[in-house]
Amino acid sequence: MAEFVLENINFDVIEPGEPINEKDLYDLEAKLGTQLPAQLRSYYLRWNGGLPCPSSIPLNKSAWVRLYWKPGSEAARVGPAASLQEFAEINSSPDMDFLRIWNDYKHRIPQDCLCFACNPGDSQFLIGIKDYNLGKIYFWQRDYQADIGAGELPGYDNIADVANSFVEFLLALHEEPDEGESLEAWVRRVYG
């Protein structure tokens, strides 16, 4: 386990990946055809995946974050929050390898994003890679994805806004809802 401090909040990185270097990142970016946004890039150079979690969250609890669905989104049925399971790793085992995950999802998510982390249900956390959404964090709900086989194009119907930057995303992580607590009540309690 590794540790870091961000805006006076202590974080643990549970099970970080094998260390990587600039060349590893350049190789990945060449295969992706884009650069990782700066904050995410810095994180990967230091920890390469794992699960960043505020130290205030006990190890037997999970980290959750608020979701902001677009009005009328059918995917909003999943609720106003999602848990974070783990980040993809660069040059790792096939299960959580960044490039393998990208290849699995690149035709199912909008082309202006990369997936970098998942929740336990295999939905993905995305980061924007274009000038207009660079570094912005989203949540892609797998159960409401476009039907690519029927000619539908991936859009934002099943995507919630999460944070305006990677750092804001990390700072928004909180301990899972209490047993029996609704997600709506948890959002009100944690985010005011």
Q: Which amino acid is at 26?
A: Y
Complete DSSP assignment for the chain: -EEEEETTEEEEEES------HHHHHHHHHHHTSPPPHHHHHHHHHH-SBEEEETTS-TTS-EEEE-BPPTT-GGGGG-SEEEE-EE-BTT--GGGBHHHHHHHHTTTS-TTEEEEEE-TTS-EEEEE-STTTTT-EEEE-GGG---GGGTPPP-STTEEEEESSHHHHHHT-EEPPPTT--HHHHHHHHH-
Determine the pLDDT at residue 127: 98
pTM for the complete prediction? 0.95
Phi, psi of 119 (to 5 degrees): -105, 175
Mean pLDDT by 10 residues, the chain (192 residues): 86 93 96 96 95 93 96 94 96 87 95 96 96 98 92 93 98 96 96 90
Task: Give Cα 137 to chain centroid, integer Å.
Answer: 7
Q: Which amino acid is at 161?
A: D
Determine the pLDDT at residue 2: 77
Contacts of 76 (CB under 8 A, 6+ apart): 69, 70, 160
What pairs with residue 66 in β-bridges?
Answer: 81
The rounded distance, in Å, linking the Cα atoms of 176 and 158 is: 22
The rounded distance, in Å, linking the Cα atoms of 4 and 2 is: 7
